[in-house]
Amino acid sequence: MSSITYLLSRLLQMIPTFILVMVIIFLLVRLLPGDPAIAMADAKATEAQLEALRQRLGLNEPLWTQFFYFVRNVLTGDLGQSILLKAPVATVILERLPVTVFLTLYAVLFSLLIAGPLAAIAALNKNQRADIIIRGLFQVGLSTPVFYIGLLLLTFLAAFLRWFPVGGYGQTFWQHMYHLLLPALTVALYTSAIIMRNLRSSIIEVIDAEYVQFARAKGLSEGLILRRHVLRNALVSTVTLLGLSIGNLMSGTLVTETVFAVPGVGRLMLDAIFARDYPLIQGLTLTFAVLVSLVFLLTDMIQSWLDPRLRPS
Amino acid sequence: MKNVLFAAVAALSVTAMTPAQAVERGGTLTFARYDDSTLIDPIYADRNPDIWMVSNLYDTLLRTEADGKTVVPGLASSYSLSSDGLELKMTLREGIRFSDGSDIEAQDVIFSLERARNPDLGPWAGLLGSIESVTANDRDITITLKNPDPTIILMLATFNTAIVSKDAFDTASGTTDQEKAQALSISAPVGSGPFVLKDHQRGASMNFVANRHYWRQGEDGQPLPYLDAIDFLVIPDDATRILKLQAGEVDAAEFIPFARVAELKADSNINMELFPSTRIIYSPINTREKTADGEDNILASKEARQALNYATNKEALIQLILHGAGKPMTSGLMASTTQLATGTEPLYKYDLEKAKALAAKAGIKPGTEISLTTLAGSADDAIIFTALQQMWSQIGIKLSVEQVDGATRGAKNRSGEFDIHTYGWVNDVNDPAQVAGWLGYYPTRKAVGTDWNNAEFNSLYEASNKETNLEKRAEQYAKMQTLYAEEAPLIFMYETPFAVALGNAVKGYVQTPLGSNEFSSTWIEQ
């Protein structure tokens, strides 16, 4: 099978996933207690006003009719109108998705920059002082809540030293880089801790493998051995982990986005759930499903590039 | 306590009305908000972040002073109500313009009021239910009423009757009125208020610029507003919003948590304002004979509800939650800042002996289980629960907690599946009819979901809504308040101010008792 047909078949396999996601989210959202009319009109509305609102939102239609409209609209690219924001769901998501994607990629970049070298150092000095210090520091990173790290960074680096702005997103690319540096770092401190531990143990495993000893016996330089034989093999499981954490990060930047006032989709999702904004919740979930599936696909592609044994035969 | 508050209010209004130095014009104010606006349109504004901004973009025919009570002319230069109370005549001010420079005419007034009272459009149409027709002859507007309505004057000073441009709506893209309102808010908003919406990055920021055609004069004899522009930043996290102010990146931050008020008061760079509000925090009690599970409901007894109220130490709650920045409710039916509010003493002042006696009378046995429904994730509600659990254990109540989110709490309030739950209210209109209807009048919403149905109260309320004699209406309201406090369908808790922290250079900013953010007279010391 060529890699093109492999890619195509993987993309086709995503379709049932999306259908399943649509059905599940459609039903789950409606299982939440409290209907959107109540959430929307808050308490002040009378029963008659609520009824008029339900009518307008189509909430009185039978469930299957609502589902039919939902699927039909999704297929035509129409995600509906957000009840909360009184604007088209697709527009709202497109406005705010790039912010979260930017933040996520930025955080991943930081995580790799932090975790990669430190994992190598820790592994090469297994159980010695450097290893213990590095692992100890990451343990702190892993066990401190994200919002707390965020607030600490904001208080000292932004409000006190004034090196960075206190939250926000900025207008231009470089402003985004500047504004999102602290939030990305905050997220990275957590993610890099996970990646570092995984990469360290993989390296330790690989470094004693026979093919590495063979390479050493051939007289290859240590740097070359590390790059070509050790890291490449050790990275296979780390890439899987990274792929999984990107999926998590994407939908889980809520806390970081709130603390740093970053207008991304994480915060939007929370607002949407509290407001019982069915169209917006459905639209966001579908978007997350697409993104996570794409990230997983990308992860598989990278893995098969790293390890030829994983390539489709 | 009342005197202290009165002095605070008086001091505040003095500083707001007569600044120590001459006003300065120009500059951009940067304001950190807790939540973003969605659609700032007079009739579609249904969330506080929208409602509280309307007056900056759209002016009303009549206006209230910063106290929210005194009515003064607005876009209408004069008004008079006929002696039978069925005809309100107004004259539209000469030379007033929309932000695009076009004249504000009678057709705009008719269009705006027809829109506002159309029940198929926004949620506020019911407030204008007494209007029969709106007609105009040149600049003379006549509003004919179906029946006398004591609230009509204040309603014309309320956000939902603000004036929009008919021409702008006629030419806006979209088919329905709401689509047109959305299109206008994005492309080219045409307003009648002191500012114009220039840019809105949803969830992040919003930008207002001065409307150079605005009619109202400032203290220097020039048209308002003093500011050139306002940049709003949406910072939902309380701590970050405060840091942003402390770092000097914004000029003001709203919704300061009460736990931080003392600290910011001590900061010499910050002017910590506590604006009097109509916000009350209370807890509806389910008064149905049977609970949702079909068991006998002890809280159906008036004495049981009174016992709980006496056993609630409001001063302690105010210290624990508001760090002292609040006061116990003195009227059962409304905040003391509302028109026609009576009562000067805290309701059900903490008295354990009375509470015990009433509990015994009501047949509350030791170990009686009651559940308090609170908002999950709310720090205030968590404190309320812990405090009440401890306080009420003194009269034998075993209080358990049920944590839910806002929408679920709303649904339970409507279905009656609760014993007692936390709640709050801010008036949207300064006439007491809205809050009294909400809390006490059964047909509106089953007396805030308590199912308390009192014939005397209901008939007093109905009569007061048609009573144009102010004194008689005040008497009716006094009776309603006494009756309501006595019957205690609520745990009466406390009133809280609006806490806004301003940089020292910011002058003349007011958040009204209704919550509206008023920037028309705000200026920045250079």
Residues 6+ away with beta carbon under 8 Å from B156: B60, B61, B62, B76, B79, B88, B90
A90 inside 8 A of chain B by CB:
no
Closest-approach residue (CA) in chain A for B424: A43
Contact B233 A168 (CB under 8 A): yes
DSSP code per residue over B20-74: SS------EEEEEESS--S---TTT--SHHHHTTHHHH---SEEE-TTS--EEES
CA distance B284 to B409: 12
**pLDDT value of residue A251:** 62
Check residue B283 and give its pLDDT: 97
Position B62 scores a pLDDT of: 95
Which of A46, A52, A154 has its CB closest to that of B240? A154
Which A residues 242-281 touch B at CB under 8 Å?
Answer: 258-261, 263, 267-268, 273-276
The confidence score (pLDDT) of residue B508 equals: 94
DSSP secondary structure letter of residue A251: H
Per-residue burial over B473-490, b = 16 or more CB atoms within 10 Å of its CB, e = otherwise: bbebbbebbebbbebbbb
Give the separation between CA B116 and CA B128, rounded to whole angstroms: 8
Mean pLDDT of chain B: 91
Nearest chain B residue to A81, by CA: B179
Q: In Å, how far is B438's CA from the nearest CA of chain A? A: 7
Which chain B residues contact residue A42 at CB under 8 A? 46-47, 410
Cβ–Cβ below 8 Å for A86 and B201: no
Tell me if B407 and A39 make a contact (CB, 8 A cut-off): yes
Residue B422, token pair as written in the block: 């936390």
| pLDDT of res. A69 | 83
Residue B120: closest C-alpha in chain A: A52
Q: How far is A143 from chain B (nearest CA, A)?
A: 21
Query: CA nearest B46: which of B350, B481, B428?
Result: B428
Residue in A87, A151, A165 closest to B249 by CB? A165
A44 lies within 8 A of chain B by CB: yes
Q: Given this model, what pLDDT does residue B325 score?
A: 92
Q: What is the pLDDT of residue B86?
A: 93
A158 in B contact zone (CB under 8 Å): yes
The tokens of B264 are what?
Answer: 């910011």
SS3 B274: strand
Q: List A14's β-bridge partners, or say none.
A: none
- pLDDT-above-90 percentage for chain B: 79
Q: Which two tokens stand for residue A93?
A: 């998501």
How far apart are the C-alpha atoms of B34 and B28, rounded to whole Å?
19
CA distance A34 to chain B (A): 5
Question: Rounded CA gap, A104 and B142, in Å?
Answer: 59
Distances (CA, A) of A137 to A106, A130, A131, A256, B492: 22, 11, 10, 21, 51
Task: Residue B436: name the closest of B397, B407, B473 by CA.
Answer: B473
Contact A70, A59 (CB under 8 A): no
Residue A275 Cα to chain centre, angstroms: 23
Q: Cα distance from A20 to chain B (closest Cα, Å)?
A: 27
Give the whole-angstrom CA distance, residue B314 versus residue B298: 23
Sequence-separated (6 or more) residues with CB below 8 Å from residue B56: B193, B194, B195, B208, B230, B517, B518, B519, B520
- B388 Cβ partners below 8 Å, 6+ apart? B312, B372, B399, B491
Contact B243 A33 (CB under 8 A): no
Give the span between the Cα atoms of A287 and A99, in whole angstroms.
14
Top pLDDT among B367 and A81 is at B367
Across the interface, of A92, A159, A267, the residue whose CB is closest to B236 is A267
| Nearest C-alpha in B relative to A48 | B444
B95-146 confidence digits (pLDDT tens): 999 999 999 999 999 999 999 999 888 888 888 999 999 999 999 999 999 9
- Gap between the Cα atoms of B204 and A99, Å rounded: 11
Tokens (6 digits) for A140: 């702190």
Tens of pLDDT, residue by residue over B437-485, are 999 999 988 999 999 999 999 999 999 998 988 899 999 999 999 999 9
| Confidence at residue B9, expressed as pLDDT on a 0 to 100 scale | 46
> Is any Cβ of chain B less than 8 angstroms from the Cβ of A179?
no
As a whole number of angstroms, the distance between CA A235 and CA A238 comes to: 5
Judge contact between B522 and B506, C-beta under 8 A. yes
- Identify all chain A residues contacting B410, using CB atoms and an 8 Å cutoff: 34, 38-39, 42-43
* pLDDT mean over B196-225: 93
pLDDT at position A43 is 63
* Residue of A261, A267, A275 lying closest to B240 (CB–CB): A261
DSSP string, B458-471: HHHHHHHTT---HH
Q: Which residues, given as ranges, of chain A have pLDDT below 50? A: none
- Quick one: which of A75, A262, A46 has its CA closest to B129? A46
pLDDT over threshold 90, residue B255: yes
Record: contact B246-A159, CB cut-off 8 A: yes
Q: Which of B206, B237, B244 to mutate to test the interface with A (most CBs of A within 10 A)?
A: B237
Please report residues of A whose CB lies closer than 8 A to that of B50: none
Q: Do B237 and A258 touch (CB under 8 A)?
A: yes
CA distance A89 to A79: 6
**Could you tell me if B413 and B449 are in contact, meaning their C-beta atoms sit under 8 angstroms apart?**
yes
pLDDT confidence of residue B98 = 96
Q: Do residues B116 and B155 make contact, with C-beta atoms less than 8 angstroms apart?
A: no
Q: Return d(Cα A69, Cα A74) in angstroms, integer.
A: 8
**Please, what is the end-to-end C-alpha distance for chain A in angstroms?**
6
CB atoms near residue A139 (< 10 Å) = 12
**Position B12 pLDDT exceeds 50:** no
Q: How far apart are CA B68 and CA B512, in angstroms?
A: 6
Pairwise CB contact (< 8 Å): B404 & A45: no
Answer whether B283's CB lies under 8 Å from B372's CB. yes
Report the candidate in A96, A67, A70, A65 with the shortest Cα–Cα distance to residue A81. A70
Which of B38, B202, B233, B441 to mutate against chain A (most A CBs within 10 Å)? Answer: B202
Residue type, position B38, single letter: T
Asked if B407 lies within 8 A of A32 by C-beta distance, the reply is yes
Gap from A153 CA to chain B (nearest CA, Å): 11
β-sheet with B397-404: strand ranges across: B397-404, B368-375, B420-421
Distances (CA, A) of B460 to B85, B436, B446: 19, 11, 16
User: Phi first, then psi: what are they for A104, rounded to 5°?
Assistant: -65, -50
In this complex, the residue of B47, B204, B246 whose CB is nearest that of residue A169 is B204
Q: Looking at residue A252, what is its pLDDT? A: 62
Question: Shortest CB distance from A46 goes to which of B243, B410, B444?
Answer: B444
Identify any residues that bridge with B402 across adjacent strands, giving them in sequence order: B373
Token match 């150079």: residue? B212
Tokens representing B151? 């609230």
Question: ipTM for the complex?
Answer: 0.80
Contacts of B178 in chain A (CB under 8 A): 86
A40, A44, A163: best to mutate for the B interface, most B CBs within 10 A = A44
Q: Which residues of B touch A93 (CB under 8 A)?
A: none
pLDDT score at A2: 67
pLDDT at B56 over 80: yes
Q: Which residues does residue B208 pair with via DSSP β-bridges, in sequence order?
A: B197, B230
The whole-angstrom separation of Cα B79 and Cα B86 is: 13
If residue B283 lies in a helix (H) or strand (E), which one and from where to where?
strand B280-284
Helix H, strand E, coil C: the string for B180-231 is: HHHHHHHCCCCCCCCEEEEEEECCCEEEEEECCCCCCECCCCCECCCCCEEE
- Judged by CB atoms closer than 8 Å, whether chains meet at B405 and A34 is answered as yes
How many angstroms separate the CA atoms of B151 and B154, rounded? Answer: 6
A152 at the B interface (CB within 8 A)?
Answer: no
Q: A223 CB near a chain B CB, below 8 Å?
A: no
Q: Which residues of B touch A155 (CB under 8 A)?
A: 243
pLDDT at site B160: 94
